[in-house]
Amino acid sequence: MRKHTNPSTGSFSLPDGARLRALAGVRWGLLLAALALAAIGLATVHSASAELAVDYLPRQAAWIGVGLVACAAAFAVDHRLLLAFALPLYLLSLLLLVLVLLVGHEAGGAQGWLRVGGFGFQPSELAKLATALLLARMLARIGGGHLTGRDTARALGVVAVPMLLTVVEPDLGGAVMFLPVVAGMLFVCGLPWRLVTVAALLALLAGGVAWGQFMKPYQKERVLTFLDAERDPSGAGYQARQSKIAVGSGELLGKGYMQGSQSQLRFLPARHTDFILAVLAEERGFLGVATVLLLYGAYLAGGAVVAIRAGDRSGLLLVTGLLSMIGFHVLYNSAMVVGLVPITGIPLPFLSYGGSFLTVCFFATGLILGIDYRRWVNR
């Protein structure tokens, strides 16, 4: 019997030699950086959970395993096949977002979790991916060096639905994370700047409404506390203050692995998840932080190279969207840990404990590498 081509690889067929050459030419540094970050994250999660009831290291290791499988799967699938199914995927993710509103589990004040077996799962992470896919597909179809207002509005509409569903969970922080994805992609496509100005004004207005209508008192308190750190040093300002103390007290070389008093004595909140970088900063010092930032830099720069040399517009846009998401997480989380921006529940890619986001990040890495692999084919 004649061998059928794997449906997932679609029309992709190269001679073995070319295939090897293509494989060798893939930007593997991306994966190396991701793995290095995940390894650092694993060790840090272990230290951060030393004083918790459970050691999160085995679970995080398992999630990394899941992530690698997701990465391999994403690599194996031609992104154009995924783009072909973008709409159903998008609709499925919306369905899950609705489902989570009905039967979701609560964590940290938001009802954003679906439980499958023993693992929690956040549909909003999946929705981000699906949205990125749908946007890439939509925006790739539009030619020209700039977007029209209508195109922009359509793209924003695609983002608005899952965002709003996430807002009502309520998970404002998670909802905001849709924005960098669409913003990155729209920016690269060429924004109509006059419209952007109008939209910015509208956003300000919407922000005001959100402040008055939707934001929970604790969220308002966080923003106010950020604006005035002395507002309540024992209450909402506590986390920001303790994080900054943890980071600063690490100094150049850190206090040593598992020796951070802020982390080990539980002064630092959410230290194995959103504040994992503070733990690293305390125990490994500025050198540890610099290493991690360098790895992120390498990852993002490598990703940008993949975007730039992508074979097709949809590939470029998809990589841009995924990198925007990861990049924004990195920037915001680090800035939050060092006390530059208000605290919100944004995990650090590859480092923070948490399965959904880790899996999404590895999946995105697989997608990016896959796009790079197929850059000669999809021209």
Task: Give residues in contact with another protein (CB under 8 A).
Answer: 51, 143-146, 184, 187-190, 234, 242, 244-252, 261-262, 265-267, 281-282, 285-286, 289-290, 293, 296-297, 300-301, 304, 307-308, 312-313, 316, 320, 323-324, 327, 330-331, 334-335, 338-340, 379
Q: How many CA atoms lie within 13 A of 149 on its CB side?
A: 7
**Min CB(262)–another protein separation in Å:** 6
Pick 135 or 323: Cβ nearer another protein: 323
17 three-state secondary structure: helix
**Min CB(283)–another protein separation in Å:** 12
Tokens in use for 7? 């449906």
In a 10 Å sphere around its CB, with 0-12 CB exposed, 13-18 middle and 19+ buried, how is residue 218 labelled? Answer: exposed
**Min CB(256)–another protein separation in Å:** 13
In a 10 Å sphere around its CB, with 0-12 CB exposed, 13-18 middle and 19+ buried, how is residue 219 labelled? Answer: buried
**Min CB(166)–another protein separation in Å:** 24
Q: Are 366 and 70 in contact (CB under 8 A)?
A: yes
Pick 208 or 297: Cβ nearer another protein: 297
Pick 57 or 186: Cβ nearer another protein: 186
Q: Which of 22, 20, 75, 57 is nearest to 362 (CA)?
A: 75
d(C-alpha 73, C-alpha 76), whole Å: 5
**Min CB(122)–another protein separation in Å:** 25
d(C-alpha 146, C-alpha 190), whole Å: 4
Pick 113 or 296: Cβ nearer another protein: 296
Where does the chain have alpha helices with state H? 16-25, 29-48, 57-76, 79-84, 86-103, 123-141, 149-167, 172-176, 178-189, 193-209, 217-227, 237-249, 261-264, 276-308, 313-337, 355-373
Pick 153 or 298: Cβ nearer another protein: 298
Burial 79-112 (b: 16+ CB within 10 A, else e): bbebbeebeebbeebbebbeebeeebeeeeebbb
Tell me, what DSSP letter sits at residue 3? Answer: P
DSSP per position, 277-303: HHHHHHHHHHHHHHHHHHHHHHHHHHH
d(C-alpha 57, C-alpha 43), whole Å: 7
**Min CB(250)–another protein separation in Å:** 6
Pick 188 or 210: Cβ nearer another protein: 188
Pick 24 or 252: Cβ nearer another protein: 252
**Min CB(129)–another protein separation in Å:** 20
**Min CB(185)–another protein separation in Å:** 10
Pick 320 or 356: Cβ nearer another protein: 320
Pick 104 or 237: Cβ nearer another protein: 237
**Min CB(213)–another protein separation in Å:** 28
Task: Please count the other Cβ atoms lying within 10 Å of the Cβ belonging to residue 377.
Answer: 18
